Amino acid sequence: MSRPDISRDIWLRSMVILACLVIVMMGIRLASSTIVVMLLALFLAIVLEPVIVLLSRLWLPRLAAIALLSAGLLIALLLTLMQIIGSLPELTQMSIQMRNVLAEHLTTGLEPLTRLGLTLTSDELMALVDPGQLLRMATRTVGRISDILSAVLVVFLMVVFMLIEVPALTAKSQRLLHHSPAGLAAIRYGLSSVTRYLALKTLISLLIGLTVWGTLLVLTIKFAFIWGVLAFLLNFIPVVGSVIAAIPPLVQTFVFNGIGAGVLVLLAFVLINLILGCLLDPYLIGRKLDLSTSTVVISLLVWGGLLGITGVLLAVPLTLSVKLTLEHISGGEKLAILLGSKA
């Protein structure tokens, strides 16, 4: 076969692969509502499985361990939903008051400039920037969080049945792949990698959420629980999640509690993100997560576009799963190298 024929075949093969990829992505987008439920159930089961194993080692039968853990999580989820839903009307009202309160502060602050002959008014400044938009955006985000928590209630039974079926699925996979030890080892390695990442990320996010909640409570900042839940969830989003989670409580504190309280909250968030986000998180997870920074950022855009906010929250474990899959299929090794962080 001549060189032009080889080049044409390679080009045609690349176009076919690209077309298949586009079709798959369109299918994921169209079926996103169903896929989101399945992914939430799957990843929750992956996170909870180590806890079930630990409880089983304490001479507690597996079914009893699943029932105990499920009941505890369900109660915690319902209490969280009740707290968030109960605070939403007041939070919405405060976001409406944000513009008026900020306008009063600006009017007072601009008086010295008026004496100097400057005619800049608070309305002109508010036309340029309205920090109340940030709090309103946070209100919508919190409303979306409650939707996500409600969806967890829907997938609750799926998680329970998945946990019950884990031993049977393990036995079935061993029977199906008994002739392929390499394939079985690859599946085990992939599951252990994703499980380790999700477990550590959940633990660190929970620690950050509790720390934010406790700190804001000590500083007597309203809606401390909601901002703690927001910090917990958004910490799953790498790079920008912790920054986005800090903006709403900071805006609220500076406007309604004054500059002194705002500075304290700012320092608290800086310390929390520095110690837990920048030191503990990379130490526990970063060394084991072989994904480049650009891959993580692009994955946020891709999975967010396909699956919405759930895709953003699960972008890293989904991309890690894709990378591990590419490493063990023919022709995917080069793509896996491109996604990795090693040169």
Indicate the domain borders of the chain. 28-167, 183-289, 290-343
Which class for 302: exposed (0-12), middle (13-18), buried (19 or more C-beta within 10 A)?
middle
Q: What is the pLDDT of residues 215-224, one digit of tens each?
A: 999 998 888 9
- Residue 128 pLDDT: 47
109 — alpha (psi -120 to 50), left (phi > 0) or beta?
alpha
Q: For residue 57, what pLDDT band results from cuts at 50, 70 and 90?
A: confident
* Termini Cα distance of the chain: 35
Measure Cα distances from 340 to 156, 178, 291, 333 in Å: 34, 30, 4, 11
What mean pLDDT is predicted for residues 127-150?
Answer: 55
Query: Of 39, 65, 67, which Cα lies nearest the Cα of 154?
Result: 39
Q: What is the pLDDT of residues 271-310, one digit of tens each?
A: 888 887 776 666 666 555 667 777 888 888 888 888 888 8
Query: Of 315, 308, 302, 307, which Cα lies nearest the Cα of 35?
Result: 307
254 vs 214, higher pLDDT: 214
Please provide the average confidence, as pLDDT, over all residues in the chain: 76
Give the three-class secondary structure for 84. helix
228 vs 81, higher pLDDT: 228
What mean pLDDT is predicted for residues 236-248?
Answer: 83
